[in-house]
């Protein structure tokens, strides 16, 4: 009876997804959004590994930025999975992120196979994906570094490519091949030649290897990154469901990708260190994969009507073809258009030709250059205790809708430049205002004077919804002095 391979899913959640603006923002990127089905892309990434034959699955590990740690923890909780969230104080690309993950699980005799998955990809054929993962688990358990190459069906210029070499492990019934070389995103003519050649696969960013194999390869290829990550890990500490690494040590870590740091050195081209490096192996994958890198890619994977249109939310289409229309609230009406992308959110509307959606990033860059918040945050902002929505603002005032989940507690805080009026719409609020602590229920209100220490809590079993009216000379979110915070902010 064969032994099950122990798999540690490692989900890398560091991307910002700016080409899917305005739905995806820097502070709430695409992997946290439910773009296809009810699950977010991150949740779908975790879920698709469950039930893979021939493996024993550990709880997932997510490596992410501190900025959206609470949302990720909540999304894992909703899956009933638990898991570990490793926090990077700074973005340093995928090679350091994977190194931290490997360090976290490789101790004593523990040496699981890491299944490394970007958090923001789509795979529509889960059984086909699981079959290839099972094959990759066997190869990785034997010491190889495995990547998955997507069978191309078009001369795509937006992806990197992997050229597959001679057959490897054919006796085991797999289609594995040694990696001949990695190539960067090609121009159209080159991409057409790759498609005609038949030996080139799209680079998926999916990998499998033992934790010890990755750490050994990093020691050969990028000892500077390994040293910085080891120091950061040694200085780290557990904080509830989060693992924080040493901030100062990780600040010294160079930035590099998995491909550049290691994978490109595991090819048929001999390097001075070839004898000390593991084999690089690529498995072909046909499973409805997409990196959902832009709106046209999302249009391709979503269900369409008979005219090739995709619509979500409050949308009316008349005589339209091959159009993507997504509404988060207001009605979108399109008449007689084709190949358009129209996306509506509370604070921004995008209209683009479907063939030009790669350029949405330029809009985001322009917003940031102008210092506009729409480039980085939504009007609706998630917090560990719930969320708030800035519903109106003017000179010296701002109105927010605030929802606090049951048991949620805001920090004990004070503002230098603003006072606040709180009106309870539904639920029960426990209010701390100076030396007083009292309860408010539906239709009751209170006033928090400028400079007064205060706190809002939801002691009930249902969500607390309230309206907050702020007034003062400065209303920025950085005008908060925190004295106590159960979430460690």
pLDDT tens digits for range 225-252: 999 999 999 999 988 779 999 999 999 9
Q: Which residue has the tokens 């750490």?
A: 215
pLDDT averaged over the chain? 92
Q: In what order do the strands lie in the sheet with 429-433?
A: 436-440, 429-433, 454-457, 412-414, 481-484
Mean pLDDT value across residues 137-160: 92
84: confidence class by pLDDT, cuts 50, 70, 90: very high
CB 346 within 8 A of CB 329: yes
When divided into structural domains, the chain yields a total of: 3
Buried b / exposed e along 14-23 (16+ C-beta atoms within 10 A): bbbbbbbbbb
**Which residues span the domain enclosing 74?**
5-290
Specify whether 258 is located in the same domain as 156.
Answer: yes
Specify whether 361 is located in the same domain as 456.
Answer: no
User: 397 pairs with which residues across the strands?
Assistant: 394, 471
Share of the chain above pLDDT 90, in %: 79
170: confidence class by pLDDT, cuts 50, 70, 90: low
73 to 64, 82, 221, 455, 477: CA distances (angstroms): 11, 8, 33, 24, 23
Predicted pLDDT of residue 402 = 97
488: confidence class by pLDDT, cuts 50, 70, 90: confident
pLDDT tens digits for range 248-304: 999 999 999 999 999 988 876 444 455 678 889 999 999 999 999 899 999 999 999
Specify whether 27 is located in the same domain as 122.
Answer: yes
Mean pLDDT value across residues 475-481: 90
Q: Is the pLDDT of residue 171 over 50?
A: no
Residue 200 lies in a domain: yes
Specify whether 384 is located in the same domain as 450.
Answer: yes
Q: Taking CA 298 as the corner, what is the angle to CA 284 and CA 186, rounded to the nearest 5 degrees? A: 55
Mean pLDDT value across residues 464-475: 96
Residue 81 lies in a domain: yes
Tell me, rounded to whole angstroms, the distance of Cα 217 from its chain centroid: 26
Burial class (CB in 10 A: 0-12, 13-18, 19+), 13: buried
Q: Is the pLDDT of residue 202 over 50?
A: yes
Structure tokens at 61: 């590990």
Residue 441 lies in a domain: yes
- Where is the domain boundary, 256, 290, 324? 290
Predicted pLDDT of residue 107 = 85
Question: How many Å apart are CA 317 and CA 341, to the nearest integer?
Answer: 12
Specify whether 285 is located in the same domain as 303.
Answer: no
- Where is the domain boundary, 341, 369, 397? 369
489: confidence class by pLDDT, cuts 50, 70, 90: confident
Cβ partners under 8 Å of residue 134, min gap 6: 52, 53, 54, 55
Predicted pLDDT of residue 275 = 62
Residue 375 lies in a domain: no
Structure tokens at 302: 């979503």
DSSP 385: T
pLDDT tens digits for range 387-415: 999 999 999 999 999 999 999 999 999 99
| pTM as predicted | 0.89
Predicted pLDDT of residue 417 = 96
Q: What phi and psi values does residue 119 have, to the nearest 5 degrees?
A: -80, -10
**Dihedral angle, C-alpha 179, 181, 182, 186, nearest 10 °:** -130
CB 218 within 8 A of CB 95: yes
Q: Is the pLDDT of residue 136 over 80?
A: yes
- Where is the domain boundary, 228, 262, 290? 290
Predicted pLDDT of residue 158 = 84
Q: Is the pLDDT of residue 36 over 60?
A: yes
Residue 489 lies in a domain: no
Specify whether 255 is located in the same domain as 303.
Answer: no
Residue 374 lies in a domain: no
Predicted pLDDT of residue 27 = 86
Specify whether 275 is located in the same domain as 304.
Answer: no
């Amino acid at each position: 009876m064969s032994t099950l391979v122990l798999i540690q899913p490692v989900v890398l959640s560091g991307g910002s997804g700016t080409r899917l603006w305005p739905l995806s923002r820097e502070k709430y990127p695409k992997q946290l959004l439910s773009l296809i089905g009810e699950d977010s892309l991150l949740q779908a990434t975790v879920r698709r590994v469950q039930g893979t034959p021939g493996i024993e699955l550990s709880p997932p590990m997510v490596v992410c930025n501190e900025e959206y740690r609470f949302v990720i923890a909540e999304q894992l909780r909703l899956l009933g999975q638990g898991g570990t969230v490793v926090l990077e104080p700074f973005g340093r690309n995928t090679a350091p992120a994977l190194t931290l993950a490997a360090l976290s699980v490789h101790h004593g005799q523990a040496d699981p196979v890491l299944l490394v998955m970007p958090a923001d990809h789509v795979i529509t054929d889960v059984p086909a994906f699981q079959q290839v993962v099972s094959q990759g688990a066997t190869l990785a358990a034997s010491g190889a570094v495995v990547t998955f190459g997507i069978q191309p069906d078009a001369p795509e210029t937006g992806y990197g490519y992997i050229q597959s070499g001679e057959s490897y492990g054919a006796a085991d019934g797999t289609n594995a091949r040694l990696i001949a070389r990695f190539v960067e995103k090609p121009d159209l003519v080159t991409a057409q030649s790759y498609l005609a050649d038949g030996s080139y696969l799209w680079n998926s960013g999916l990998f499998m290897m033992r934790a010890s194999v990755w750490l050994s390869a990093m020691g050969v290829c990028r000892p500077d990154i390994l040293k910085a990550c080891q120091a950061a890990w040694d200085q780290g500490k557990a904080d509830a469901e989060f693992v924080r690494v040493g901030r100062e040590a990780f600040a010294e870590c160079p930035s590099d990708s998995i491909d550049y740091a290691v994978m490109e050195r595991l090819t048929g081209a001999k390097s001075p260190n070839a004898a000390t490096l593991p084999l690089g192996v690529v498995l072909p994958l046909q499973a409805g994969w997409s990196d959902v890198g832009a709106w046209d890619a999302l249009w391709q994977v979503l269900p369409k009507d008979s005219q090739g249109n995709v619509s979500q939310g409050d949308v009316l289409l008349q005589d339209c073809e091959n159009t993507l229309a997504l509404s988060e609230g207001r009605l979108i009406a399109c008449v007689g258009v084709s190949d358009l992308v129209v996306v509506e959110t509370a604070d921004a509307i995008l209209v683009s030709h479907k063939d030009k959606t790669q350029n949405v990033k330029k809009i985001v860059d322009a917003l940031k250059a102008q210092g506009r918040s729409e480039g980085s945050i939504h009007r609706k902002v998630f917090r560990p205790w719930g969320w708030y929505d800035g519903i109106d603002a003017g000179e010296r005032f701002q109105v927010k809708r605030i929802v606090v989940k049951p048991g949620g507690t805001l920090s004990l805080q004070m503002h230098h430049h603003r006072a606040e009026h709180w009106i309870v719409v539904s639920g029960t609020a426990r209010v701390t205002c100076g030396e007083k602590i009292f309860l408010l229920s539906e239709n009751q209100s209170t006033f928090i004077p400028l400079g007064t220490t205060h706190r809002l809590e939801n002691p009930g079993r249902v969500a607390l919804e309230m309206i907050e009216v702020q007034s003062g000379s400065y209303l920025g979110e950085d005008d908060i002095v925190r004295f106590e915070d159960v979430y460690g902010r």
